[in-house]
Structure 1
Amino acid sequence: MSTRPTPEAAQSTPESTPESAPRSAEHVDVLIIGAGLSGIGAACRLRTEHPQRSVAILEARSASGGTWDLFRYPGIRSDSDMFTFGYRWRPWPGDRALADGPAILEYVRTVAKEYAVDELIRYHHTVRRASWDSSTARWTVEVDRDGEPVTLTTSFLYACSGYYDYDSGYSPEFPGVEDFAGEIVHPQAWPEDLDHAGKKVVVIGSGATAVTLVPAMAGEAEHVTMLQRSPSYVLSRPGRDPLAQRLERLPTRLSFPIVRWKAILLAVATFQLAQRRPALARRIVRKATKEQLPPGVDVDVHFNPAYNPWDQRLCFVPDGDLFKALRAGTASIVTDHIETFTEKGLRLRSGEELTADIVVTATGLNLKPMGGIELVVDGREVDLARTMTYRTMMLSDVPNFAFTIGYTNNSWTLKADLVADYVCRVLAHLDRTGTRIAVAPRDPSVGEERLLTFSSGYVLRSLDKLPKQGDREPWKLRQNYLYDVRSLRRGDVDDGVLTFA
């Protein structure tokens, strides 16, 4: 059954076949889109497992590193444990549990150089359209290279471009913005020459970016105010991993798996507790937060969200730096709604006025699934919202295509590593069976569910753009690394759903 082609994958009519690629078009066996953490990791795995295959990475920007090169705001860091945020097969060096952006960028680029993946990256290559032709079992990929159209073909297309729009972040329309005499900046477009020393700063937001910016700016600014419409859960954790410090004398090959699996199991247990006993999880987080706050900062006003822990992502701060800034008086927190901007700052719904020289709108991201690429299969445009994700890494009825979206309740790279391993296994299966096409046909009996159940604003704003997940395996998103290790790394690729033609 596994080698029986589906009608959609195996047949192509003259009316539905896309235009043939130019004869001069370059062909690569696997084409990766995006030279960030996921794309570089995927290329490294392909270099290791399939050295005979040609691989290229297309990167729209002028530098590698993705998120870690794009964001330049003060204090940028990971909000995931670095022993899981780093690659499984290339240990994160040192004992830092939450590392800053430059350290992460150096790690990613070092790994790319070690595996000679940096030689595969083609910069200023923006993918616009990819068309699959079943008669040739190839994708024709249309690329904008600095304004010049370029066409490539590939046997397998692998999207590692993340899920948000690199060109612009999300900024709500605030009344009175034109009256404000100061500077307004978004973290995604941080000006290199912005000087906040000695100035009054208001950071609008309560997520990971806001809780990073506030303590980072508080050291030099006159004062920093974190203005939030609604609270988030914020937890302190050691900036350096205590277990890694205790095991530092051991060889890395021994210490790294121990520290990594400690982090994985702790994250899984924490999430499961929050899902199964949310009231208990809320009490634990509230108690830990209250102990960090100075007198006068009410935990139930500023750190007690209406949602349960892990209904949105938890914010972790290294060594309680946000709470230290609050206790030192260099930062403060206000929970209120903005009525309007004024010439000198913001007026809130309560009537309170916040004076500001700089306002930072840490208000979130805009989702851009699959990097905004137009996908076409045998002449039919793919509507992402009408597709269903297979193992949250392939799209129904879209052959020889994979994508990477990391966990929302754990480290992104945990899932990225698993997807890369699975793609390598699929390619190996194609080799063994002498087949050329891998496709997951849509099963009409599988019920639809939201792909992401998070209640975060960036998710809710984009539900109509996202694929669906199914109500049962292998179409269902588990958000559970332990389960995915069994199914993606050890489960049978020929599972009766994924079809090889």
Structure 2
Amino acid sequence: MSLTACDHDVLIVGAGISGIGMAAHLEMMCPHRSYAVLERRSDLGGTWDLFRYPGIRSDSDMHTLGFKFEPWKHEKSIADGPAILDYLHRIVDERGIRDKITYDSKVIAADWRADEACWHVTYEQDGKRATTTANWLYLGTGYYDYDDPYDAGFDLSQFEGQVIHPQFWPKDLDYSGKRVVVVGSGATAVTIVPAMSDRAAKVTMLQRTPTWMFSRPAKDGIANTLRKYLPEELAYRITRWKNVLLQDVAFKRARSAPEKVKEALHKRIKNSLGDRYDAATWTPPYNPWDQRLCLVPDDDLFTAIREDKAEVVTGNIAAFEKDAVRLTDGRRVPADIVVTATGLKLAVAGKIAVSQDGAPVEFSERFYYKGCMFSNLPNFSVVFGYLNASWTLRADINSEFVCKVLNHMEAIGANVADPALPEDHGLVEEDLFDFSSGYIQRSKHIMPKSAVSLPWRLNQDYRFDRKALATSPIDDGVLKFDRAATSTGQQLEAAE
């Protein structure tokens, strides 16, 4: 029985990986709790429904980008967008989640009312505004702005060809025989270039600076072998931990011995490119894992370069001319289509206007609590995945933690859980994200705070976080539990 008079015990915003993961955890761990999911798009999937550019795929393995509770059954560990959507659709159907999702519902505001222990959530649907209430608000809204990608400030007025941003890829774009210039060298560019190279006349990846890249097979041989001889769930669990360990070791090795890691990455690329290898093109001005490494599955980018279907050009853009991109050194790169793969723009809390008893919440003034809640903001949680590992690893442990909090609240008769931080806290802040990536550096001013130690730290170590959240008590002396005197609460109290 709910301890509030809210419409829902839990309201989940977003039906992507994070939101679906939370819904699945509620079904498993809190089956008696009422919940609903509001999704702004007309279908589920989040990122995997939004991005439709050629070759769209995961940039990490699906044994860790997949959920802990749902084995990845496909042969390919590096999966394309449609396969990931199939995985998510199967989960919502098999676990009874689909009828809890309401589509075309964009949440625009959420206000916590302390006297009711309810979030009042305003959303737009069919051009009209509606309101619902929930005791707990869980944001699975991702980390970037769905409406506005990063604008690099290019003047494209003189260019007479097509200009496309990957976030808004046009349906049925015909690029056969066209000269395509992809501006950027991140994960999106590295995916698009080889995917377009089979039909385009030539695809050029135009990079201002190189990005560290590593290649690996799209199929995980060990995972597929284990599946032949072991029960599916056991095989998945072993593969998942194998990949978690490899990710962790690779990241820490890059930080402790960057020169050795550089040497190994260069060796792989050189082996793949042969006489097409040029060290300057593949040597970034930073150490590996100072920014996220780009994955090249099955050497697809390097194969396209060897076969003269694609090329990488390094230089600064001077101007876009009618049929080319002119660089500051005078070189011209011919173009019929320009793809601006220049990065994402981060957004906090899905750009929802969050308030507390009518007062706007400034997330840049709040500290993270256990990587999913915020200081002095009750019954509110989000997912911001790992930068050095798969997003879903954090989504899983956050969902599990929130479900444990909800169960503890029910056990003690509470309807409020507030990460209490006094004004004279004396916390020592640290750099929230120790990464030099442009999209991270551009957005630091809007991001919440992080301290040097738990529970007020957004950590970047999944294995540490998983153990810490599993072993630390829910009632840790920081998370304060209370029971607001709602009408429902008063009735329950009288009944007792």
| Range into which the TM-score falls when normalised by the shorter chain | over 0.9
Q: Are the equivalent residues in 2 in contact too, given 1:391–1:474 (CA < 8 A)?
A: yes
User: What residue is the counterpart of 2:333 in the other structure?
Assistant: 354
379, 383, 395: which one aligns with 1:416: 395
1:109 aligned onto 2:67:
no
448, 451, 473: which one aligns with 1:470: 451
Counterpart residue identity of residue 427, structure 2: V
User: What residue is the counterpart of 2:144 in the other structure?
Assistant: 164
1:363 aligned onto 2:342:
yes
Q: Are the equivalent residues in 1 in contact too, given 2:367–2:457 (CA < 8 A)?
A: no
Deviation per residue, 1:174-206 (Å, 9 max, x gap)? 13x111111010000000131111111000000
SS at match of 1:493: coil
Query: How far apart are residue 292 of structure 1 and its match?
Result: 1.5
Counterpart residue identity of residue 380, structure 1: A
1:458 aligned onto 2:439:
yes
Q: Are the equivalent residues in 1 in contact too, given 2:421–2:478 (CA < 8 A)?
A: no
1:500 aligned onto 2:481:
yes
Higher mean C-alpha deviation, range 371-380 or range 246-255? 246-255
Q: Are the equivalent residues in 2 in contact too, given 1:26–1:151 (CA < 8 A)?
A: no
Query: How far apart are residue 296 of structure 1 and its match?
Result: 4.1
121, 133, 140: which one aligns with 2:113: 133
User: What residue is the counterpart of 1:389 in the other structure?
Assistant: 368
Q: Are the equivalent residues in 2 in contact too, given 1:294–1:326 (CA < 8 A)?
A: no
338, 352, 370: which one aligns with 2:317: 338
Q: Are the equivalent residues in 1 in contact too, given 2:269–2:277 (CA < 8 A)?
A: no
Deviation per residue, 1:109-139 (Å, 9 max, x gap)? 1111111111111111111111112121111
Deviation per residue, 1:448-484 (Å, 9 max, x gap)? 2232222111111111111111122111222111101
1:79 aligned onto 2:59:
yes
Higher mean C-alpha deviation, range 37-46 or range 430-439? 430-439
User: What residue is the counterpart of 1:63 in the other structure?
Assistant: 43
Cα RMSD after superposing both structures? 1.4
How many residues end up aligned between the 2 structures?
Answer: 476
Identity %: 46
1:185 aligned onto 2:173:
no
Q: Are the equivalent residues in 1 in contact too, given 2:371–2:459 (CA < 8 A)?
A: no
Deviation per residue, 1:237-276 (Å, 9 max, x gap)? 0110010122231220221111111111000100111122
Measured in 2, the distance between the counterparts of 1:86 and 1:461 equals 29
Measured in 2, the distance between the counterparts of 1:68 and 1:448 equals 34
380, 396, 414: which one aligns with 2:359: 380
Q: Are the equivalent residues in 2 in contact too, given 1:421–1:489 (CA < 8 A)?
A: no
SS at match of 1:76: coil
Structure 1 unaligned regions, length at least 5: 1-24
Query: How far apart are residue 171 of structure 1 and its match?
Result: 2.7
Q: Are the equivalent residues in 1 in contact too, given 2:117–2:135 (CA < 8 A)?
A: yes
Measured in 2, the distance between the counterparts of 1:208 and 1:179 equals 28
Counterpart residue identity of residue 195, structure 2: A
User: What residue is the counterpart of 1:327 in the other structure?
Assistant: 306
Q: Are the equivalent residues in 1 in contact too, given 2:276–2:306 (CA < 8 A)?
A: no
The correspondence of residues 128-277 of structure 1 with structure 2, limited to 5 A, is: 128-175=108-155, 177-250=156-229, 251-277=231-257
Give TM-score scaled by structure 2 length. 0.94
User: What residue is the counterpart of 1:22 in the other structure?
Assistant: none
SS at match of 2:228: coil
1:44 aligned onto 2:24:
yes
Q: Are the equivalent residues in 1 in contact too, given 2:262–2:287 (CA < 8 A)?
A: yes
SS at match of 1:154: strand
Structure 2 unaligned regions, length at least 5: 483-496
Q: Are the equivalent residues in 2 in contact too, given 1:80–1:411 (CA < 8 A)?
A: yes
Deviation per residue, 1:362-405 (Å, 9 max, x gap)? 01111111100111112321111111111120111100000011
Counterpart residue identity of residue 25, structure 2: R
User: What residue is the counterpart of 2:485 in the other structure?
Assistant: none
Q: Are the equivalent residues in 1 in contact too, given 2:118–2:135 (CA < 8 A)?
A: yes
Give TM-score scaled by structure 1 length. 0.93
User: What residue is the counterpart of 1:121 in the other structure?
Assistant: 101
Query: How far apart are residue 94 of structure 1 and its match?
Result: 2.6
User: What residue is the counterpart of 2:464 in the other structure?
Assistant: 483
